[in-house]
Chain A
Amino acid sequence: MNMKVIPIASPSAVRQRKREAPKGRRASEAARAAVRELLGKSPRQRDLLIEYLHLLQDRFGHLSADHLAALAQEMDLAQTEVYEVASFYHHFDVVREGDAVPPALTVRVCDGLSCEMAGAKDLLARLPAILGKEVRVIAAPCIGRCEQAPAVAVGQHPIANATLDAVHSAVKAGRTTHTPKGFIDLKAYEAGGGYALLKSCVAGDHEVDGIVKALSDSGLRGLGGAGFPAGRKWSIVRNEPAPRLMAVNIDEGEPGTFKDRVLLERDPHRFLEGMLIAAWAVGIARIYIYLRDEYHGGRAILEGELAKLRKHPPYPGMPEIILRRGAGAYICGEESAMIESIEGKRGMPRLRPPYVAQVGLFGRPTLEHNFETLYWVREIVEKGGAWFASHGRHGRKGLRSFSVSGRVKDPGMKLASAGITMHELIADYCGGMLDGHAFYAYLPGGASGGILPARMGDIPLDFDTLQPYGCFIGSAAVIVLSDQDRAMHAARNMMRFFAHESCGQCTPCRNGTAKASVLIDNAQWDLPLLEDLSQVMRDASICGLGQAAPNPVDCVVKYFAHELESKEGA
C-alpha cells in the first residue's frame, strides 16, 4: 500500500514559486561560486563527474542538492544526470533540502563475513554510544582488510583488528587519513633493476610476439576472477583498430579479497611496469587505473608514484596514465560497469556482445586487466613462461595469491601453488585453525564462489576445478569457517551483500537478491521457490553478480541440509 501521497502542494505556494523562477531547482549563486572555485581550470568533461563529486564530498562532507545543481550547470549536464550518479555510489552522501546533514566524521565498520565472524556486530552496536553524535557509525561492505578482521575505517584511516578502544582513540586523536610507508618507491624499484625490461621492450630488444608468447606459455590468466588467458587478450585487442585504450581494475571488492591491496602497498612499480609493458605490446593510447575508494593508502601511493613517473618517464612518449577513484560500489569490479564508472556514469554493467575488447571505454577497443595479472608480467618475461608454469600442485600450473581469512591462526595473503587444497593451505600456510576451532566449511572464491564443507577440502583450488561442485575460485579469496559458524549465516551475510550491491538494472538480480534475502532470513526455507529463483538469477541476470549471487544459497541447500533441518536457523 502507498505510504503517502505527494499532493499538488498548496496552490498559492506553487503559484508564488512559478512567479519567481523558471521550472525546477535553481542553483544558488553561492553554490555556483563554490563549484567554480573547486573545479578551477579543470576541464568540464562528463567523464570527470565522479571525480568532481569526490571534490565536493571531501570539501563539504556531503553533497547538497544546491551544490549538485550548481555542478550540473557548470558541466552543462541535466540535474538528474548528476543526481543519478551521486545517488548510485555509497560514498556520496546526498543531502536534499530538509535532510539532515551527516556528521563530519564517518566510522565504517566492515560487516563482511570475516569481520562479522570476528565481532563486527558488537562494534557496530557499541561504537555509536562511545563516539557520540559527532561521529557517524555505519556498517560498510567488505573494505578489503579481511586478514585484519574486524577492520574499521575512521574516516580514511584503517584500523586492523579493531577494538572499541582503538577506534575511540583514533577518533579522539583525529587520525583520519592513511599515509602508507615501507613500500618500494620509484628510486628503490629502479635500483633493483626496475623498468629495465620496459626500456628494452621500447628499445626494440624484444618482439611483441615474444612477450605475448611468454605470457601464453606461463598460462597466466586474469586474476580478477574471470580467468581469461592474458596472452590471448593482448592478441585480440592488438588486432582492433586504434586508438586503443587500457583500463586497469583495482576495484578489489569481492568480499574476502585483499591481495591487490597487499601487493600495491608493497611494490607498486612492479604492477606499473607490467601495465606499461602491456600498453607497449598492445599499442595503447591512454591508460585508466580504477582504484576502489576504500584503498586510500593505495591511492596515496599511486598518486605519488605516478607523479614521479610522469616527471621521469621510463621512456619518452609513455602513454598518459589517469588514476580514477571509485566511490563505493562492488559492481564496479565488473569490467563493463567499471568502464561506465570511468566514463562518469552509474556503474551498470553493459550487455555483451559487443565485448569490451572491441567496444569498451569511450566506445574504443579496450584492454582491461586486473592489478595482479599485470603485477606478474615482469617476472614472467624475465624468468620465462615456463618458470611460472613450473609451479603447481595436483596437476595444476602456476602461482596464486590467496587471500585467506576467517578462523585460521595466520590469515593473510599467501602466495601458493595453483591446485593446492584447502587442507594444505590451512596447514602449510596459515598455521592451522585457531585454537578451539575445527575446520567446518570454506568459501573458495569470496562471496560469489559458493560454500563447501570441510569434507570437500581436498579439491585442488584453481580455475575450472570447482565448477563441478557449483563453486569457483574467482579471485582466490578463501574464507574459512569453523564448527562455531554456520553456512546458512554466511549465506545470509552474502545475500544481504548482493542485495546491497546489486546495481538494480535487471529484474532477476534487482528483485531476486532482495526477495532471496527475505526468503532465507526465514527460519524455514521455501526450497522450491528458492530453486526457481536461483534458476532465473543464474540464467537471466545481465552480469556475474546476479548470476553468481545464488551460489551460497544453493550450496547451503546442497551441502549443509542438516543446518536447514535444525532449529538453530531461526
Chain B
Amino acid sequence: MNAITRNEAAALDAPTIGFTLNGREVKARQDELLIEVADREGVEIPRLCYKPGLDAVGNCRACVVEIDGERVLAPSCCRTASAGMKVTTDSERARKSQQLVLELLLADMPERAYTRNNELDVWAAKLNVGKPRFASRVQPAADLSHPAMAVNLDACIQCTRCLRACRDEQVNDVIGLAFRGEHAKIVFDMDDPMGASTCVGCGECVQACPTGALMPARDVGLEVPDKQVASVCPYCGVGCQLTYNVKGNRILFVEGRDGPANQSRLCVKGRYGFDYAHHPQRLTKPLIRRADAPAKRGDFVMDPDRVMDVFREATWDEALDFAGGKLKAIRDQYGKKSLAGFGSAKGSNEEAYLFQKLVRTGFGSNNVDHCTRLCHASSVVALLEGIGSGAVSNPVMDVTKAEVVIVIGANPTVNHPVAATFIKNAVKNGTKLIVCDPRRSDLARLAHRFLQFKPASDVAMLNAMMHVIVTEDLVDADFIASRTIGYDELRKNVENYSPEAMAPICGIDADTLRYVARLYAKSKGSMILWGMGVSQHVHGTDNARCLIALALMTGQIGRPGTGLHPLRGQNNVQGASDAGLIPMMFPDYQHVTKPEVRASFERAWKLAPGTLDDKVGLTVVEVMHAAKRGEIRGMYVQGENPAMSDPDANHAREALASLEHLVVQDIFLTETAYLADVILPAGAFPEKTGTFTNTDRMVQMARQAIDPPGDARQDLWIIQEIARRLGLAWNYGHVSEVFDEMRHTMPSIGGITWDRLEREHAVTYPCVAEGDPGDPVVFVEDFPREDGKARFVPVDIIPAAELPDADYPLVLITGRQLEHWHTGSMTRRASVLDAIEPDPTALVHPLDLDAFGVKPGDVLTIESRRGKVSLFARAEEGTPRGAVFVPFCYYEAAINKLTNAALDPFAKIPEFKYCAIRVKAGGEAPRQGSYGGGQLLSPVAELTA
C-alpha cells in the first residue's frame, strides 16, 4: 500500500452488489475495482500499469475484460462492478486483446534484462505470448548520469508507474510524460539527464517500475540476495521501515517496507545511504592513543587513513581495562561530578537506557546528555511546561486529516523527506498548507501561503497571530475554560502585539498575518509541525510556547488532524530522551529532584537508598565549558561527535582536548574520536538489533542484517563491559532483557512487549498495559499536568544573542541538507550520497553573491567572531537576502567553528540558527582528506565516461 489515492479515499462502506465473473456469481463492494474482485476470487488478469497504492490510470490495457452489452472491452483496473453485470476475463476476445497488448509491448523490449522480475515477461509467459511479430521501435539512449539509478528507457512501456510514484506519491514532480504518440517518453524535468535534473533520488520510481527501465545503478538489481531483513531506517525521526537485501554479509540494496510511518516510501538516504557500513575506514580494532602521539590540540587536521600515526591497536581486554579503569580512577580521585557521558540519539532505546544507567550508577551523577540538547530541548521544555508531555500530540500522518497545516521553522522535504510526502499528499487532497520560514523551501511551492519572515522574529509573528485570534474572538472559549489555565495573562500580553505593529518587525504584512490567524483558528482541524528553525534560538523555548498557546486558545489539539508536532531529528532522539539520556530526568521524564522518583529507581536498579544523585546534571554545552575549566576530567562518548556538532566548535575541540581521559565508542574515526585516549570500535546500525522510537512515539524493531567487521562489537556489549570496569555487576544476555527492564521502569511503554514488537514491528505509546493498542493521538480528555489542565505561558520578544553590526553585517543560519546526515561521518562515506553532494557549499541569494563579487561555484570565506571557514558559494534564491545558510556536515569546512554557543535560558539549547558573520570573496579552497568529494564513485564515473 502506498499513496493515498482517490480510489482509496472513496467511501469504503459502499453497499455490496452481486455480478457474474466468468460465469460465477460473486459479491463485491460497489466501489471495488473489477481487478480487485478478480484477485480476491482467484481469477488471474494480466496487468502492468496497475499497482495498488497508485491511482489506477488504465493505460496499458493489458487488463481489459469483456462486459456484456458494452461495445468495447473495459480495463478491469478502472471499472467497478454494477449489479447484474456480466464480466468475462478469459473469453477469446478478451484474451486476444490482452495477448496483443503484451505482444506490442514485448516487440519494443531490449535483448538484455535489467531486472530479475520483469512483469511484462511474467505475464507474456503466462499468456503464452511467443516471439513478437512486430518490428521494434528505434530505441532511446540509456541514461547513466545518476549515481544511484540507471535509466534504460529501451525497457520502458510508458505505463507511468514511475511518474505516479514521483508525482502522486512522493510529489517530487520530477518525472513527466513528454511528447506524444510513439514518441511519448518518460522524462526528468525537461528531458534532462536524470543526474542533472531536480531529482532528489528517493528511488520511488525504481520501486514502481515493472520492467527494469528504472533500476538501481551498476546492475545490483540483477544480483540474488541471500536473505532479506526487515528493519528500519537509521537516519531521521520519521522511522521508515525498510528491507535490507543482503548477500554474503554485504547489503546489496534497500527497499521500502510498508510501515505505519512510511507506507513503503523511502528517501535518498534511506534507500541509497547504507554502504557506509562497508566503508574501508570502519574501525575494526580497539585503539589506544600512542605514548609518542603528539599532544592533543583543538586546532588539529586529521586524516582517518592515518589512524596509526596517533593510535595503536589493542586487545579488547586491554582497551576496556584502560578505558574503564581510568574513568573509575578519576571518579575515585576527583569525585562523581568529574565525569560526564554523552550517549547517542543514533543508538537504540536499550543502548540509551543502559548508557544513562551506567552514568547514573557507575559515574554516580546526572552528567549525561546527548544531541537532543542541540535540537529540540527548547520544544521539550515548553511542551513539558505547557501540556505536561514532551512528545508529539499527533502523528505526522494526521496531516492527511487536517484542514490547515502550519509548517514553521522546518524544511521537511530535506530533513524529514518521507513525512514531507504525506504533507504534500494532503495538499493535493485539499489541505491548506501554510509554510513559515525565513528560507524558501521546496515545500513553499505547494503552500497556500508562504510567510518568509525575518530570521529570529518568530515571537513577533506568532504573538501577532494570537492578537488577531483574541481580538476577533476566534478563540475556543469552552476549551480555554475547561482545559487550560493562565489565559488571561496571555490575552493581556498579546494585546500589545497588533499585526500592524509586528509587520515591520517580522516582515509579514498585517493582512497576511490576519488571514493566516483566521484560517488556523476557524478550520475544523489545524495542525502545527515545527523543526530546528523554531527551537535553535536563545528564544527557542519562547517560540515553542507561542505555538502551544496558538493550539490551546483555538482548541486545535486533542483530536485527529490537530495538535502539535515537533518533527524529531534523529531516528531515536525521542527514544533516547524517553530512556533518560538527559541530565534532569530519569527514564520516562521522571525528574531527578523528586525523592519518590529516585527511591523508585533505586529499588528497580537494586541500589542502596540515597545512592542516586539528586541534582540536575550538566547539559552538552555546559559539559564542554566545565571540561575547559577542568571540572570535568573524564568523558565517555558513545556515537556522538561534539567536535563537529557543538556550537563554537573550536572551543568544544579545545575542551575535549583538555580532558584527562576521553573514551569514544564509534564506527569511524570521528573528529571527536581523534581526541580520544581510547577508541572502542562499535557496530553500525545494520549490525545490531534493538528498538527505536520515531517522531510519532512509535517504538519500532530494527533487526541485525550483517555482522560487524573485524573485532568491532555491538554497543550494548561494550557499554556492559565498561560498566563492569566501573564495578557494576551487570549481566544482560539478549537485548530483549534490557527492553524488558526498561518497560518496567517506564509506565508509558509498560504495555509493549518484545514479542509484540517482533510480531507487529511497531507499537505506539502511550501503551500502559499489555494489549493496549497504543494511542497515536493524545490529550483527548486531559493533559498530564496538575488538574489535567494545560498552561498558557505568555512571552515577549527577545532579540538574538548576536545581532549583525558594521563588522559582521550578515546572519549565518546552519542546518542540514538532504543527502547528508549531521556531521557527515556516515553519509559522506555512503558512496551515492557523497557523489550527489561531494562538496561543502554556502547557500547565498544570487543578488547577495553579486554584491560580494563572487561567482557561483567560486570560493568564499565566512568569518564570525569565533572562527572562519572557506567553502564554495552556491547561488540559491530561497535564502533570504542578508543571510547565508551552511550545512554543518563538512569536516573540511566545519561551520560550527563559527556558531554562537549562547544558550536559551530554559532549555540550554544553543543558537545555531543565528549569529553575525562577514563574507569575503576568495580564500583557500576547502581541503578534502581521505573521504568525501565523491571519491568512492568517481572511478566508476571515469570508467563510464
Q: Which of A's residues lie within 8 Å of B, judged by CB?
A: 1-11, 14-26, 29, 65, 68-69, 76, 78-84, 87-88, 94, 96, 329, 331, 346, 351, 353, 499-508, 510-515, 518-519, 526, 529, 532-533, 535-536, 538-542, 547
Contact = CB atoms under 8 A, between A and B. Distances in A.
A11 B941 contact: yes
Contact of A84 (B79, B177, B195, B196): B177
A78 to B, nearest CB: 3
Contacts of A16: 857
A22 B73 CA distance: 47
B144 interface: yes
A513 B184 CA distance: 13
B142 A533 contact: no
A518 B108 CA distance: 14
B769 interface: no
A331 B291 CA distance: 81
Interface string B73-116: 10100110000000000000100110011001101101100000
B93 A499 contact: no
Interface in B1-60: 57-60
Nearest to B933: A15
Nearest to A1: B139
A112 B105 CA distance: 29
Given A20-B874, A88-B179, A4 B141 contact: yes
B58 to A, nearest CB: 5
22 contacts: A7-B941, A8-B144, A8-B944, A9-B945, A15-B838, A16-B857, A18-B841, A19-B841, A25-B197, A78-B198, A79-B189, A81-B176, A82-B190, A83-B187, A499-B182, A502-B181, A513-B182, A515-B135, A536-B100, A539-B72, A539-B96, A539-B97
A543 to B, nearest CB: 10
A519 B110 CA distance: 21
Interface in B120-139: 133-135, 137-139
Closest 5 pairs between A and B when the two form their complex, measured CB to CB: A504-B184, A24-B198, A80-B176, A78-B173, A536-B100
A503 B57 CA distance: 15
Contacts of A542: 58-59, 61
Interface string B166-186: 010000011111111111100
Chain B interface extent, by class: 35 or more
B141 A504 contact: no
A510 B180 CA distance: 8
Contacts of B105: 507, 511
A79 B197 CA distance: 10
Contacts of A19: 839, 841, 856-857, 872-874
Given A5-B944, A79-B198, A507-B60, 4 more contacts: A8-B940, A83-B187, A500-B181, A511-B108
B837 interface: yes
A508 B193 CA distance: 29
B158 interface: yes
Contacts of B843: 22
Given A15-B934, A83-B178, A88-B178, A25 B192 contact: yes
B660 interface: no
B62 to A, nearest CB: 7
Contacts of B158: 504, 507, 510
Contacts of A532: 96, 100
B135 A518 contact: yes
A503 B180 CA distance: 5
A88 B62 contact: no
A508 B101 contact: yes
B616 to A, nearest CB: 43
Interface in B278-303: none
Given A88-B178, A540-B97, A540-B101, A8 B945 contact: yes
B759 interface: no
Contact of B96 (A1, A26, A514, A535): A535
B97 A6 contact: no
Contact of B64 (A503, A518, A539): A539
B178 A84 contact: yes
Nearest to B48: A507
Contact of B134 (A515, A535, A538, A541): A515
A235 B142 CA distance: 54
B875 interface: yes
Contacts of B64: 539-540
Contact of B944 (A7, A15, A26): A7
B188 interface: yes
Contact of A499 (B108, B135, B181): B181
A24 B841 CA distance: 16
Interface of chain B, main secondary structure? loop
Contacts of B945: 7-11
B205 to A, nearest CB: 12
A83 B185 CA distance: 12
Contacts of B57: 351
A19 B173 CA distance: 23
Contact of A515 (B104, B145, B934): B104
A22 B876 contact: yes
A547 B856 contact: no
Contacts of A94: 190
A96 B192 CA distance: 9
Interface string B143-176: 1110100001010011000000001000001111
B192 A24 contact: yes
Contacts of A23: 197-200
A505 B183 CA distance: 11
Given A351-B58, A499-B181, A508-B104, A24 B938 contact: no
A2 B141 contact: yes
Contacts of B839: 15, 18-19
A329 B157 CA distance: 23
Nearest to B937: A8
Contacts of B306: none
B191 interface: yes
Nearest to B177: A84
B784 to A, nearest CB: 42
A83 B189 contact: yes
Given A1-B139, A11-B942, A80-B190, A504 B60 contact: no
Given A8-B940, A8-B944, A19-B874, A507 B61 contact: yes
Contact of A80 (B135, B141, B174): B174
Contact of A510 (B173, B181, B197, B836): B181
A299 to B, nearest CB: 23
A15 B152 CA distance: 24
Contacts of B606: none
B445 interface: yes
Contacts of B942: 11
B59 A83 contact: no
B63 to A, nearest CB: 10
Count chain B CB atoms within 10 A of each CB in A80, A88, A351 and give the residue with the most.
A80
A535 B874 CA distance: 57
Contacts of B108: 511
A87 B178 contact: yes
A512 B61 CA distance: 12
A22 B107 contact: no
Interface in B359-404: none
Given A21-B856, A80-B173, A507-B61, A2 B154 contact: yes
A83 B180 CA distance: 12
Interface in B394-452: 445-446
A488 B4 CA distance: 50
A8 B31 CA distance: 47
Interface string B852-872: 000011000000000000001
Interface string B809-836: 0000000000000000000000000001
B190 A68 contact: yes
B107 A515 contact: yes
A24 B139 contact: no
B802 to A, nearest CB: 28
Contacts of B133: 526, 529
Contacts of B134: 511, 515, 518-519, 529
